[in-house]
Amino acid sequence: MTNQDTMTYRIGIDIGGTFTDLVAVDDAGTVTFAKTPSTPEDQSIGLLNGLEKLAGMLDLSRADLLAKTERIVHGMTVATNALLERKGAKLALLTTEGHRDVLEMREGLKPDRYNLRLPRQEALVPRHLRLGVKERMRHDGSVEAPLDDASLAAAIETLKAEKVESVAVCYLHSYANDAHERATAEAIRAALPDAYVCVSADVLPQIKEYERVSTTVVNGYVGPALQRYLRRLEARLDEAGYRNATLIVLSHGGVAPISEAIRSAVATVLSGPAGGLAGARHAAELTGVENLIPFDMGGTSSDISLVDSGEIALASDRAIAGERIALPSLDIVTLGAGGGSIARVDGAGLLQVGPHSAGAVPGPVCYGRGGTEPTVTDSNVVLGYLDPSGFLGGADKLDRSGAEAALTRLGETLGVSMVEAAAGVHRVVNTQMAEGIRLATVRRGVDPRRFALFGFGGAAGLHVTGLARMLDLQRVIVPRVASVLSAWGMLTTDLRYETIRTHIGDTEGLQADAVRALFRGMEKEGRDYLSSWFDGAVTTSRSADMRYGEQVYEIDVPLDELDLDAPDVLDRLKAMFEARHEALYTYSLPDRAPVLVNAKVAAIGQLPAPPQEPEAQGGAPADPTGTRPIYLDGWVDAPIYGFDDLTPGQEVSGPAIVEASTTTVLLWAGDVATCTPRRWLDIKVGA
């Protein structure tokens, strides 16, 4: 038995648009979680409030809890919000003379190339702050023109005069030789010691100029806001008594210390959703269900991804808020559809839901914080799915009359009743999310019907069974920690450091020894970086971006099974590319030599996994706590079950509601939910 006095904790924290979620796991594997409203004006305030609430649930003071905490893992939306809301730093870009318009030309393509009325998106850096510097590297790393001191000095004087907050440096071919970028950054830091400075050689040292400059610019744009937040958080945690490591979740699903997160701020843009996908992958291991569609529905958005055969996919072609981010990140489809999504009638008289959200403040009308526009959450209150008196375990009350008034106004505009308007909102948002799931699966050639839908996030439980019906899915899994799964999943992640090198050549022209040296040098770099401050086990994972010579886009080829010592290593590399190409596009060209464009190595520092909560034993089935009318194409009196009251093996047949303090699950007629030994819900979806 664990001594309470010596008990230690690991804490995961996920800050969303509406709520801040916190999960503590102790030495016995016991999971305790809390939710508290997010504080957009300063997210660290909501975080500290959440720690206070979590400590109270553990009968500890906040100082005592932090003193017993070994590790905090944190995902946040600071960088995401700065990018989405266009509230980043006043940023300048220094680039090779003659190339300052690359950022605005965007490869000559619009985000929606066939939309002739689509307005041009303003670049994150205005043209007068995109400054050309006389210098030039060749593609092989040789110097075409040396860095001109006078040109650089003139650019720095402009930076001073414009009082810029951040500077991004991206010179032509710096992936092959970064000497000019390094010298430029040193000069800028000497002249502007308070500025945030980043260079493409650190952010994305690879070929393709637009991707490199765009990613570096986004890094410079969001970096100052992230740096201010994390430094402020460090100080407040230190003041509160916390002395151990705070790790930040990055977009690729790994974690890094605060200093690395600040250096590569753009890598935190998908910080929160990455925690959810890490949790979904861990859930696949725990349940033995290797094919899952993770569906995370929160207050402002929904994130959809894929766990296929227990593995999650990375992508390097993300576009967020119209900006290209070419760093490896978890492949997640994000929709502007959440509990706070606002319902409205457009100019054509059609009902639209989202992407605008009521957020945390003022929030849905039923929150009673000044919101006036009807949201998905308001419709769920009107339809009886949410208990106005039991929201957040009774800690908060929902204003049903306010929600009814808002849906009545919407119904009058549509020419339907209040209930019909609410049902329409529920159906429209489900339809949008079903299309998102099809996008996340069918576009990869994956049939969603062979997957189980894994629902989490505060709002997912009310929509997953309806979504499963739309998609003809047979199985839905809802974990007990559904409302805080992203925070829970963050505790299952490892340290991860990515290295990338451009090494162009086809498999007929490459030298085997050069390829071996390339990958082994990158592996050593990654191991040395982690080992400089981490004393645990470090492993590495190899992959490559490859294509046929005539193709424009590369595909990611996993190379962990490639034997670098094999005498026919290049033939094996070619065969692995062909197998991957065949899997993605159903064909390959054996008579063509593929091109190795980028070599990639991830160094992974293995953190101790949190203990698992003991599985519960069966017992007498729990009785309903009561009934209430809910609307399912007509009003029915549905039994209400407490999520935490269910016993392993107990079955609940729909129509019914299963609710906990932070999660409510809707079962339609024909659905059968079984409580698992982990006290999760495994739902067989009715026809």
pLDDT at 185: 96
* Distance, CA of 609 to CA of 493 (rounded, Å): 8
Q: What is the DSSP letter of 432?
A: H
* Distance, CA of 212 to CA of 203 (rounded, Å): 8
Sign of CA dihedral 90, 327, 433, 36: negative
Contact at 8 Å (CB) between 264 and 202? yes
* Distance, CA of 382 to CA of 419 (rounded, Å): 7
Contact at 8 Å (CB) between 52 and 34? no
- For residue 433, what pLDDT band results from cuts at 50, 70 and 90? very high
pLDDT tens for residues 33-57? 888 888 887 888 989 999 999 999 9
The whole-chain average pLDDT of the chain stands at 90
pLDDT tens for residues 249-303? 998 888 999 999 999 999 998 887 888 888 899 999 888 999 999 999 887 778 8
In order of 154, 620, 633, the CA distances from 199 in angstroms are 19, 63, 57
Neighbouring residues of 220: CB distance < 8 A, sequence distance ≥ 6: 89, 91, 93, 166, 167, 168, 196, 197, 198
Please state which of the ranges 4-13, 186-195, 231-240, 419-428 shows the lowest mean pLDDT.
Answer: 4-13
Which amino acid would we find at residue 148? D
| pLDDT at position 439 over 60 | yes
Please state which of the ranges 104-118, 223-237, 484-498 shows the lowest mean pLDDT.
Answer: 104-118
pLDDT at 539: 94
pLDDT tens for residues 51-79? 999 999 999 999 999 999 999 999 988 88
Helix axes 418-442, 464-471, angle to 10 degrees: 60
Q: Which is nearest to 386 in space by CA: 660, 648, 653?
A: 660
Contact at 8 Å (CB) between 293 and 440? yes
Q: Is pLDDT larger for residue 332 or for residue 194?
A: 194
Contact at 8 Å (CB) between 304 and 474? no
* Distance, CA of 452 to CA of 339 (rounded, Å): 22
Tokens of 237: 């945690």
Q: For strands 292-297 and 452-456, give the pairing.
A: parallel
Please state which of the ranges 360-364, 431-435, 536-540, 605-609 shows the lowest mean pLDDT.
Answer: 360-364
Q: What share of the chain has pLDDT > 70, as a percent?
A: 97
Neighbouring residues of 634: CB distance < 8 A, sequence distance ≥ 6: none
- For residue 610, what pLDDT band results from cuts at 50, 70 and 90? confident
* Distance, CA of 375 to CA of 364 (rounded, Å): 6
Q: What is the DSSP letter of 264?
A: T
Q: Which is nearest to 454 in space by CA: 308, 313, 616?
A: 308
pLDDT tens for residues 558-607? 999 999 999 999 999 999 999 999 988 889 999 999 999 999 999 999 98
Alpha-helical runs (H) found in 484-599: 485-490, 512-531, 569-585
Tokens of 475: 């199985």
pLDDT at 110: 65
Start-to-end CA distance of the chain, whole Å, equals 47
Contact at 8 Å (CB) between 592 and 577? no
CA 617 to chain centre: 35
pLDDT at 1: 43
Backbone angles phi, psi at 179, to 5 degrees: -60, -40
Helix axes 418-442, 400-414, angle to 10 degrees: 80
- For residue 361, what pLDDT band results from cuts at 50, 70 and 90? confident
Backbone angles phi, psi at 161, to 5 degrees: -65, -35
Contact at 8 Å (CB) between 526 and 603? yes
Which amino acid would we find at residue 321? A
pLDDT at 3: 58
pLDDT at 109: 64
Q: What is the mean pLDDT of residues 211-233?
A: 94
Q: What pTM value is reported for the model?
A: 0.86
Q: How many CA atoms lie within 13 A of 309 on its CB side?
A: 2
* Distance, CA of 470 to CA of 482 (rounded, Å): 21
Q: Which is nearest to 573 in space by CA: 545, 549, 602?
A: 545
Contact at 8 Å (CB) between 75 and 11? no
| pLDDT at position 522 over 50 | yes
pLDDT at 445: 73
* Distance, CA of 196 to CA of 90 (rounded, Å): 10
Neighbouring residues of 364: CB distance < 8 A, sequence distance ≥ 6: 339, 340, 358, 371, 375, 376, 377, 378, 403
Sign of CA dihedral 244, 249, 253, 257: negative
